[in-house]
Structure formats: structure tokens, C-alpha cells
A = this chain, B = another copy of it.
Amino acid sequence: MILKNDLILRAARGEKTERTPVWLMRQAGRVLPEYRLVRAKMGGFKELVETPEFACEVSIQPVDILGVDAAIIFSDILVIPEAMGLPYQMVEAKGPWFEKTIKSTADIAQLKIAQPDDLHYVMDAIKLTKKELNGRVPLIGFAGAPWTIFAYMIEGSGSKTFSQAKKFLYTQPEAAHQLLQKITDSTINYLKGQVIAGADMLQLFDSWAGVLSPEQYNEFALKYISQICDSLKDIPFTVFAKDAHFARRAMGKLNCNTIGLDWTVDIKESREMIGNTKTLQGNMDPCLLYADYGTIKNETIKMLKAFGPDRHIANLGHGLYPDLEKDKVKCFVDTIKEFRF
């Protein structure tokens, strides 16, 4: 199917675009009253993720309502540990929680390598969403980066420091590598499945990059991200590692198209460190969208100018916060869509 709007794919490949494309992390979510309605009909977050019709509906909402240049499939990075044998619960107002966690090589041996079939509900949601989008905009598939998935599998929940996951790196480095390799193999299978199901573009989220030292990040994170990039060369691929300011030079050498940036890094400095062969994605502070409309417009234009007209996909530097106003979010999107260099 020919895409009517392929701005994001062209920007990812480094082609000229008539304007900067835009999408938002966590755009399908609580910031939309329409999402909250669908969510209220369901038992909970996981039921929404696991029911293709509903996942499809909320994935398309931001395209209709916010006018973004891509949909992202509504899902969760933790479907991978679950498919490998560690089920999780999403506890309201608390976040994810795993009953079983990984403590030893014996635990790791019991995990399976996930296959696309294990996540058929995601594949079905992608197929359905592609069909319903009907070529309007590209559909982004995604997965968590191995280190972040590993961190949850050891820690069993969110954490400020992920000190237990890091303890595992320091005390059982070989077992850590075994587990990271299993997660990586599962993720490659999963992402390949997403491409077959119809994803036009992929993103890897390394949400907890920022708790590692640069050295550990090289050894326990980038090595595996690199394997994933190398296995998915034929599709526009984005790596977004939150708080990984220290890894920018190394990111420039990954076999991918786009590097996501958070708002704590300087745009020009990041371009210099990452080089000109990558598209940059980001990097507005989500809290800007609490400001008045004038401030949102001004700051958004300032960001666009700092990135320049080429190789930029506009986005926030992290996900939308649930209590942001839809109209303010739309102001950010509209400002980008109206701006011309």
C-alpha cells in the first residue's frame, strides 16, 4: 500500500522533506479523553494491549485527533519478558510488577526465546492498524532495548536506581550476558515479526540507560542494541536511550537511521557527536506543554531551528505526561506542521 504521508520515513532515510515530521512518544494514551473512554471499557492496561481491536483503535486516535505524522502501535515493552516466561502485572498508579524475577543462571536457562507467534496479539494489532490506517501515515513498531528489559526482569518492578539489576551486572557478569543475549534474540524475532505484520518503522526504547556508567553501557547495552540494528537493516530504525548523554558518539556508529534525544542534551553538541549520517529525533521537554500557547509556539520553533531543516523528526524528549492538556499537545504538533524553513 502506498503511503499518503511518508515524511517520517523520508526524514529517517536522510531525504529532503517539505517540512519537519512529528510524532509523540506515548501519544496513544491518557492525554486523550478518547483513550480514557476506551480504557474505561477494558479491564485494565494489559487487556487493552492484548486485544487487537482496542489496541488498533487507540493507536489511530492520535492520527485523527492530534494530526501526527505516524502512528505507533499501542503495546508495552514488557510483553517480551512475558513471552520469555516472566509474566507481569500492571499495577494502577504503581507500574509494572513481576511475581517471578531472575536470580541465577538456572532461572535464565528456563526462559525461552520468544517467537512472533508468542506475541500474536501484537502482530494482529499491527495488521489491523495497518489496514485501518489505510496508508494515511506510517505505523511504528517498537520494543524495549535489552538492558531495560533485563533491568525489569531482575528488579521485578520500576526503581529509581535499578541497583539490584546493576548488582547482577557486577556480581554475575557472565549470567548477565547470557540473559541479555536471550532477550536480544527474542527482540530480533519480535521486531522481524512486526515488520512482516506491517510495521513501516521501528524504535528501540532504552528507558533506563541513564543508571549505567559509560563503560557498563558499552558492555551490557550497546553491544546488544548493535546486534538488533544489524539484524533489521532494511527498515528505518530508531534508537532512543533516555539519559544516555555519554553514549552519543557510540550511537553515531550504530547501524540505524535515527537517534532519539532527551531534553537534557544540547542539540548542536549532539549533532556534532553523533555525526551527519543519522537523523535526530526529539527533544522537547514534555513539561513545556504545561506552558501557555505563546511559550509553546516560541520554544517549539526555537527547537526546530536548532535542529535545522534536515534529518530531524520532531518529538518530545520523553513520553507525554497523562495530565497534559490535549489542546496544548496539539499546539506543539500544529506549530511543527505549520513551520517552514
What is A's interface to B at a CB cutoff of 8 Å? 160-161, 163, 166-167, 169-171, 210, 212-214, 216, 243, 245-246, 263-266, 285-288, 290-292, 295, 321, 323
Q: Could you say which of B213, B214, B264 contacts A213, with CB atoms under 8 Å apart?
A: B264
Decide: B243 and A163 in contact? CB cutoff 8 A: no
CA distance A291 to B163 in the complex (A): 12
Instruction: Tell whether A290 pairs with B170 under 8 Å between CB atoms, given A210-B264, A246-B266, A266-B246.
Output: yes
Decide: B290 and A167 in contact? CB cutoff 8 A: yes
Decide: A287 and B167 in contact? CB cutoff 8 A: yes
- Among A169, A264, A266, A286, the one with the most B-chain Cβ atoms within 10 Å of its Cβ is A264
Q: Give 6 nearest A-B pairs by CB, closest first.
A: A166-B287, A167-B290, A170-B291, A213-B263, A170-B290, A245-B245
Decide: B171 and A291 in contact? CB cutoff 8 A: yes
CA distance A231 to B31 in the complex (A): 45
Decide: B166 and A212 in contact? CB cutoff 8 A: no
Q: Please indicate the chain B residues that have their CB under 8 angstroms from the CB of A166 in the complex.
A: 285, 287, 290
What are 15 A-B residue pairs whose CB atoms fall within 8 Å in the complex? Answer: A160-B160, A161-B287, A163-B323, A166-B287, A167-B287, A170-B287, A170-B291, A171-B291, A171-B292, A210-B210, A213-B285, A214-B266, A243-B264, A245-B245, A245-B264
CA distance A259 to B170 in the complex (A): 27
CA distance A286 to B214 in the complex (A): 14
- Cβ of A218 to closest chain B Cβ, rounded Å: 12
What 16 additional pairs, Cβ within 8 angstroms, besides A163-B286, A213-B263?
A160-B160, A163-B290, A163-B321, A166-B287, A166-B290, A170-B290, A170-B291, A170-B295, A210-B210, A210-B264, A214-B265, A245-B245, A245-B246, A246-B264, A246-B265, A246-B266
CA distance A301 to B323 in the complex (A): 47
Question: Nearest B residue to A318 by beta-carbon distance?
Answer: B161
- Among A167, A169, A171, A213, the one with the most B-chain Cβ atoms within 10 Å of its Cβ is A213
- Cβ of A5 to closest chain B Cβ, rounded Å: 30
CA distance A169 to B321 in the complex (A): 16
Q: Please indicate the chain B residues that have their CB under 8 angstroms from the CB of A169 in the complex.
A: 287
Q: Please indicate the chain B residues that have their CB under 8 angstroms from the CB of A213 in the complex.
A: 263-264, 285
Q: Please indicate the chain B residues that have their CB under 8 angstroms from the CB of A295 in the complex.
A: 170
Q: Please indicate the chain B residues that have their CB under 8 angstroms from the CB of A266 in the complex.
A: 214, 246
Decide: A212 and B264 in contact? CB cutoff 8 A: yes
CA distance A323 to B164 in the complex (A): 10
Question: Nearest B residue to A217 by beta-carbon distance?
Answer: B264
Question: Nearest B residue to A287 by beta-carbon distance?
Answer: B166
CA distance A167 to B295 in the complex (A): 12
CA distance A327 to B236 in the complex (A): 50
- Cβ of A262 to closest chain B Cβ, rounded Å: 9
- Cβ of A144 to closest chain B Cβ, rounded Å: 17
CA distance A266 to B249 in the complex (A): 13
Q: Please indicate the chain B residues that have their CB under 8 angstroms from the CB of A170 in the complex.
A: 287-288, 290-291, 295
